[in-house]
Amino acid sequence: MTKKREFIYEGLGFPVYIKNVRTRAVLGEEVPVINHAELEKQVFELLLWSKSKLSGSQLSFVRTYLGYSQDKFAKALGLKNHGRVSQWEKMEEEASGMNSATELGVRMLMANYLGKVEEFSAGFEAILSGDLSEPIPPKVA
């Protein structure tokens, strides 16, 4: 039997709050009934538009979703090697520690991937000014 409820999903490496998700009991545990690929897509886009800094775990998810190794990601951001990316990702649930320009670079890579560079470019001043809150978990409706 399934039922709908709010669920905190941790399968992406960080918590994602899902509203009105169907769940079912598997071996005595409530698990969400989700399309994982669709959830990843929604979370990726929510992170693009988020008004909070990316956490290390969220950055790792973004990099992986884009299909980049740490080295390729570093080079896309104008870095010499993967060392800094590894350092950021180790921050896990804390803010990655990227400066504002690098955070913007990551978001621009994300926007480009989604074909939304022009739409995103219209509102990136908050990132450059450093006016972002600490990382928060995405909420999927």
Tens digit of pLDDT at every position of the chain (141 positions)? 566 788 888 999 999 999 888 888 889 888 889 999 999 999 999 999 998 999 999 999 999 999 999 999 999 999 999 999 999 999 999 999 999 999 999 999 999 999 999 888 877 777 777 777 888 788 886
SS3 track for 40-76:
HHHHHHHHHHCCECCEHHHHHHHHHHHCCCHHHHHHH
Phi, psi of 9 (to 5 degrees): -100, 130
Reduced to 3 states (helix: H, G, I; strand: E, B; else coil), residue 99 is coil
> Which pLDDT value is given to residue 1?
52
Give, as one character, the DSSP assignment of residue 135. P
- Domain annotation covers residue 116: yes
- What's the domain count of the chain? 1
- Domain annotation covers residue 13: no
What is the model's pTM?
Answer: 0.87
> Which pLDDT value is given to residue 127?
74
- Domain annotation covers residue 67: yes
- Domain annotation covers residue 20: no
* Token pair in block for residue 3: 């039922």
- Domain annotation covers residue 9: no
Report the CATH number that the domain containing residue 52 is assigned in CATH.
1.10.260
Containing structural domain, residue 111:
35-136
- Domain annotation covers residue 55: yes
Instruction: Return d(Cα 141, Cα 120) in angstroms, integer.
Output: 21
Q: Which of 10, 48, 4 is nearest to 23 (CA)?
A: 4
- Domain annotation covers residue 56: yes
> Which pLDDT value is given to residue 32?
87
